[in-house]
Amino acid sequence: MIGKYKIITLCGSTKFKDEFIAVQKRLTLEGNIVISVGLFGHSGDDELWTESTKEMLDDMHKRKIDLADEIFVINLGGYIGTSTRSEIEYAISAGKPVSYLVTP
């Protein structure tokens, strides 16, 4: 298939690493360009984890939302943390559609 692909940025707690990978695969196979997180800080990627790193990663993720046509929230069990809530609000303020793994 060659065509215009929707760009979707994944958002959610990085403790849901397995779900991020599964959703990324599914959305890719459905013909979407998927932008995900660069590190899974709550799932063991803590080698460079400092407050300034978290601040940088949070800002980078908002830039990823800027690039996207919409966001997809990985909210296993309905969980939405502070950072993810901020990303959802950011996406909505930019007029981006928001989809959820679990309907809130």
Closest CA to 94 of 69, 73, 75: 69
Banded model confidence at residue 65, pLDDT cuts 50, 70, 90:
very high
Give the predicted TM-score (pTM) of the model.
Answer: 0.87
pLDDT at 35 over 70: yes
Give the span between the Cα atoms of 104 and 94, in whole angstroms: 20
Query: Taking residues 74-97, what's their average pLDDT?
Result: 95
